[in-house]
Amino acid sequence: MVNTVQLPCDVRYYTKPGDKDPVLTLKKGTAVVVDLPEDEGVGIRCWPDYQKGWRYDVPFPLDGSTEDAAERQMYYVRTEDLVKVAEVFMDANWRYFKGDFLTKHAAAKRLVLSIDVSLYQDGCFCSPDL
């Protein structure tokens, strides 16, 4: 499986949903690592917020970084940005996923919302993004 992808857009991280200025921006074209499925709360697989369109997340690790995700700050990020990154990840790994979904976009969105689905199925939380 291909775990390193280039960001298709700037991915901006905020202290709280709706902030005007990001505290961290990973620029379009930056090589990042996407690890699945064990890294819940990091990169693509992240926590829902109470506001639609926002996620709570540890930023993607940069390719070649040895920093431990457990030591990094969590921020808020737009769901739509993560879906775009997940689409690039799906493009690179479609042979592993193509039997499970009708489209890459649907697969990418499901991947980003996977924690939301688990929380809903367990009766814990209904994400506004579902």
Kindly state the average pLDDT of the residues 5-26. 96
Average of per-residue pLDDT values in the chain: 88
Domains of the chain, residue spans = 4-121
Predicted local confidence at residue 42, as pLDDT: 65
The residue with tokens 């505290």 is 23
Predicted local confidence at residue 47, as pLDDT: 93
pLDDT grade, residue 90 (50/70/90)? confident
| Cα gap 81→86, rounded to integer Å | 9
Predicted local confidence at residue 36, as pLDDT: 65
Q: Are 45 and 115 in contact (CB under 8 A)?
A: yes
| Cα gap 45→113, rounded to integer Å | 7
